[in-house]
Each structure stands twice: as structure tokens, then as C-alpha cells.
Amino acid sequence: MRKPVLQLALIVCLGHSAQAQDDPKPAAALPNASTGGESYLVQLSEFRIKDSSHAGWSTDEIVKRFERREEDGAVEIVETIRLSALSGHESMVQVGRQARITVGVISTPGRGSTRQMESHNIGTLVSLTAEPADGKVLLRLSYSSSRFEGTGTDESPPDIVTFQSDATLLLEAGKPTLVGGSSASETSYLMVSVDQVRQIPGSRRTKSADSQP
């Protein structure tokens, strides 16, 4: 008696499949992207703001302070990642290490103390795709990082601070843009900038797209 049941289930599945193909859900509209073999240099900077009043800053103020970081000292760079990307192709970079930390100490009579250790992977992973779109750059970005905060002790391991962001952004070449962040203690912000680069015939130099006539 199982065979009719299986046939009925197959008919139902096929019916749902056909309906799904006939009535696809519309995707969110994005700017038109073209593929012309453009090459980009993407820079990502994870940073912290040392000014305790920054929770009330606007996005524009954060960007301005980031650009003037060498002058006023309000911004502390945690890490900077640079990678090249060819339009329409995914680029990825991963840097990190595996570290062993003390998570506790066990004292045994007659045997002394023994440390309990754990291994943790820390570092940064970035993957992105950049494409030209209506005179700007359409960037699909995935960024995640983890790092120790402080040194810890034999009784207490250091905190592990993480940052993760997935975003689709429409950027102006050469203009820093705030991806995201938090004003909470010991957390970071993420800034991104993209430059379109071209190889000059007969020269090894590259120029930003906005410097071209």
C-alpha cells in the first residue's frame, strides 16, 4: 500500500515546484552593474574612538574624525586590510593564528597546580565583490574579526572581542564610507574605501579613477 502514497507525494511536490517556477518572487532592485574588467583596490580599517563622547556623534562626524586621525588623535586603528579585486569576481583574504590560553587552574594535593588550556582561532576574514554601477562602485562585503582584549590571568582568560558585518554598499571611488560599528565599550567601527585603478601604458604606476581626465 505504500506505492500510491509515494506517487501522491511526488505529484504534490511537482505541483509545488511548477508553481514556484511560474510565480518567482521579485528580487530587490540594485543599480545596473557592468562588467568591463575594472580593477579595484579596497581598504578596510577597523578602528576605535578614544573620545568618550563619540556615542552622540553623527556618521559624518565619525568619518571626519577618521580622516583627521593623525591630527587630533581621537581614532585608534585596530587593523587595516587591503586587497585587490577584479570587477565581478570574489576576492578573499584571511589572516590569523591559533592561540592557547589559560582558562583555569586545578590544584591537587601532593601534585601541585595544573593549568587548563584551550585553543582559540583569532584573526580576520574578508570576502568581497566589487562592480561598476552607474558611475559608482557596488560593493558586496563580508567582514569578520576576533581578537583578545587584555592579557588575562591564570584564573581568568582574556576576553575575545568579535566584529562581524555583511553589507551591500554603493560607494564613490576614493571616499571613505562607514560600514558599521557600535559605541559600546571595547567595540569597533569599520570604514571602507575603494579606488578604481588602471594600468598606464608603458608605465608601472597606477592612478585612481577620479584622477583621470
Condensed to tens digits (0 to 9), the pLDDT of residues 75-127 reads 999 999 999 999 999 999 999 988 887 777 777 787 777 777 778 889 999 99
The cell for 36 is 568591463
For the chain, what percent of residues have pLDDT higher than 70?
73
The CA dihedral of 48, 91, 136, 180, to the nearest 10 degrees, is: -20
Whole-angstrom distance, CA of residue 201 vs CA of residue 96: 37
* pTM to 2 decimal places: 0.70
Residue 4 pLDDT? 46
27 lies in some domain:
no
15 lies in some domain:
no
How many structural domains compose the chain?
Answer: 1
Amino acid present at 109:
P
* CB neighbours of residue 41 within 10 Å: 17
User: Do 101 and 68 contact (CB within 8 A), yes or no?
Assistant: no
Higher pLDDT, 38 or 193: 193
7 lies in some domain:
no
31 lies in some domain:
no
Average model confidence (pLDDT) for the chain? 78
Residue-number span of the structural domain to which 74 is assigned? 39-196
